[in-house]
Amino acid sequence: MSQLLTTRDLAEAIGVSESSLRRWVDDGVIQAFRTAGGHRRITLDEAIRFIRESGTPLVNPVKIGLPTLPRDHQGYTVDPTETLLNALMVGDDEHAIGIVMTYFLSGKPIATLFDGPIRATMTRLGELWKHNERGILIEHRATDTFIRALSRIRLSIKNPPADAPVAIGCAPGNDPYFIPTMMAACIFADNGVRDINLGPQTPTQTLIHGIEENQARAAWLSISTEFEQDQLERDLTPLIASTAKLGCQLVIGGRNAPTQLRKPAPHVLLTRTMAELTAFARGISAP
């Protein structure tokens, strides 16, 4: 997936004429370089950036080396969870990442990819260890594959401008789950908020330092591990107090996030999906 594209490849992928595409290259709308023979070449990452930012539909992904999404017998695209599962079961990470990237470029909001096929695939793989002795191997390998796909998605989203509001977040101490906090970072960046992802196993105090240091307007906490109620309260209490003092909104979500707080606080939002996080991020970035 690191090949260089010709102007014809990209033109055919997005259904425009090659002459329009050459013009966009020459006007600097698409970054390209020239070979020794003077031919324009475009990196796949640049093509992905252009397709997303311009909102141009990807009509023929195969032309840029990406797989097509699965279709039903009438030709309509269908949920790619089964295709992802099949690829991940046999360790075909390139196909799995390709499917994720094609979906990402299909024009649908990224929250639908995160709450939909990626979550569904990981949930199904999480059941495997009960029936299949290779289950844990497959699950760990798939986690790595999705981490790589999400990195690629994040790199394809342009960094919001330096004066955009900042959101910082993580999974708490003793919570090793990487994928959901990466998703949250992508959601913020895609909605015009500068994202700082501190990753899994992050002590509460570290998040508080990060909020202070970056004057973050929002913080997210993704809780996947099942914590004792008392430990969770102990972790959350200083975070809720500090965010209130610093004028920072706090959004808490994840499989094992609390559904309510003992003492509700107006600046804290408990929510469950990346679709809801998208609405929250838009509210943060709105002037």
- Which residues in this chain contact ligand B12 in the complex, by CB under 6 A? 114-115, 118-119, 122-123, 125-127, 139, 143, 174, 176-180, 183-184, 200, 220, 222, 224-226, 251, 253-255, 271-274, 276-277
CB of 221 to ligand B12, least distance (A): 6
CB of 26 to ligand B12, least distance (A): 41
CB of 227 to ligand B12, least distance (A): 9
Answer for the pair 274, 183: CB distance below 8 angstroms, yes or no.
Answer: yes
In the numeric block, which tokens belong to residue 35? 């070979």
154: left (phi over 0), alpha (psi -120 to 50) or beta: alpha
Give start and end residues of each alpha helix (H) in 91-175.
93-104, 110-113, 119-126, 135-156
Closest residue to ligand B12, judged by C-beta, is: 253
CB of 172 to ligand B12, least distance (A): 10
Answer for the pair 78, 72: CB distance below 8 angstroms, yes or no.
Answer: yes
Distances (CA, A) of 69 to 44, 101, 231, 251, 253: 18, 10, 43, 33, 29
Indicate the residue among 22 and 124 with the shorter CB distance to ligand B12: 124
CB of 19 to ligand B12, least distance (A): 42
CA dist., res. 100 & res. 2, Å (int): 16
Indicate the residue among 50 and 114 with the shorter CB distance to ligand B12: 114
Indicate the residue among 53 and 144 with the shorter CB distance to ligand B12: 144
CA dist., res. 66 & res. 102, Å (int): 6
- Neighbouring residues of 147: CB distance < 8 A, sequence distance ≥ 6: 178, 179, 182
CB of 68 to ligand B12, least distance (A): 24
Answer for the pair 198, 170: CB distance below 8 angstroms, yes or no.
Answer: yes
Indicate the residue among 70 and 116 with the shorter CB distance to ligand B12: 116
Indicate the residue among 57 and 126 with the shorter CB distance to ligand B12: 126
Answer for the pair 110, 119: CB distance below 8 angstroms, yes or no.
Answer: no
270 forms beta bridges with: 252
- Residue 214 DSSP SS3: coil
CB of 167 to ligand B12, least distance (A): 10
CB of 100 to ligand B12, least distance (A): 12
Indicate the residue among 68 and 273 with the shorter CB distance to ligand B12: 273
Answer for the pair 97, 145: CB distance below 8 angstroms, yes or no.
Answer: yes
Indicate the residue among 160 and 180 with the shorter CB distance to ligand B12: 180
C-beta neighbour count of 218 within 10 angstroms:
25
Indicate the residue among 174 and 215 with the shorter CB distance to ligand B12: 174
- Residue 81 DSSP SS3: helix
